[in-house]
Amino acid sequence: MSGDGEDDEALWFRPVWETENEDAPPGAPSRRQAAAAPDYTHPLLAPLARAQHAVTRLDARTEAAPPAIGEGLRARLAMREAAGWLAWARFPIHPRDLALRDAGLTGAYGPAAFADRLAAELPATTAQGYTFEIAPSDLAVGQALRMARQWRRLAETHSWRPLADSASMRELLVFLGHSGSDADIAEWLADSTFRQKGPALIRAGLAVRAWMNRAEVKEPLTLDGIFLAACLWRANGFGRAISLPFWLAPEAQLNRLAPRVGIAWMAGFLECISAAAMAALADLDRLLAVADRGQTLRASTARSRLPTAFEAVLRAPVVTSASLAKTLRVTPQAALGLLRQMQEAGLIHEATGRASWRAFTAV
């Protein structure tokens, strides 16, 4: 075969992505293609690849997990997102203590501190050796818990469109505890900088900056700005089983991001997403390991409620005898007996350190 024949053969077997389009015959790249060649040295390429890989893996594995595991993971991640934002806002609270507060098992922290009972209201945080000079802001905690509920709603209610129009966005912002003028909202919704073609995570970051660049916003990072990015990411067709994780990133990493600008800020934003998604994957692995250990409960008699009770524990960050009794439609005494059996099997542990009004958790 002649040299020209070899060249022709190479052209015809050129991969389809190197041609102008699927219908065009293979051949040398056009001048327009050469001009649009990707920049493989761009400083955002590696952070974007890591973040995209991490969130895609998290989403796919969560969707493939049993329903109880997926629901339980989302419930726990919502509390971890809330705890991450609170830690960044200088109110470090363990996610389990937030779950206790959300379930109504602990009360306001201000009055508890005044009565010298703060440690009892924050058992998991106190167990880590943390001491409070002042009580955490109940206002901030309430705001964080509202965000956690919206984070789960965004992950589980695919018909919800919080960015559909100005009214929907305003309702979301009010619920999150932030406000924006009608002009601000309309301007952000019409902003083209993050609605053009491009990687969804990059556009999410641009959306955050567009919201935070408003004149009245003074904070380097805002709860509502990050949540709007999660909403935009979902609106672009991503996140079938989760919402976009961000505040799970280490506090030091969040602090490094805050003063950055331009490309450096975007790279840091993507690294925070990557770190948050990896932390979420570790939570998923722990939850799956606990579920695997609980397979022994399937050996119970056909009339036993232990397997169903254990599934209820997997679904929620914290469970009480009352909540389990309501789920299983049994008496609180029967529910307490089931919890005791799971505790003796090493599948759950008590979360409050109290002798009464106790709560249990699997992870």
Question: pLDDT tens-digit profile of 196-205?
Answer: 778 999 999 9
User: Residues for the chain: how many in total?
Assistant: 363
Kind of pairing, strands 349-350 and 360-361?
A: antiparallel
pLDDT in tens, 164-196: 999 999 999 999 887 678 888 988 898 877 877
- Reported confidence tier of residue 217, pLDDT bands at 50, 70, 90: low
pLDDT in tens, 90-146: 999 999 999 999 999 999 999 999 998 999 899 999 988 888 888 999 999 999 999
**Triad 219, 223, 224: Cα angle to 5°:** 100
Residue 110, CB half-sphere, CA atoms under 13 Å: how many?
6
Task: Read off φ and ψ for residue 360, nearest 5 degrees.
Answer: -125, 155
Share of the chain above pLDDT 70, in %: 85
Confidence at residue 192, expressed as pLDDT on a 0 to 100 scale: 76
Residue 312 contacts residue 328 (beta carbons within 8 Å):
yes
- Reported confidence tier of residue 272, pLDDT bands at 50, 70, 90: very high
Provide the H-helix boundaries in 236-355.
Answer: 251-257, 262-293, 306-315, 321-328, 332-344
Rounded to whole angstroms, the Cα distance separating 81 from 244 reads: 10
- Residues ≥6 apart with Cβ < 8 Å to 324: 309, 312, 313, 330, 335, 338, 339
Rounded to whole angstroms, the Cα distance separating 259 from 256 reads: 7
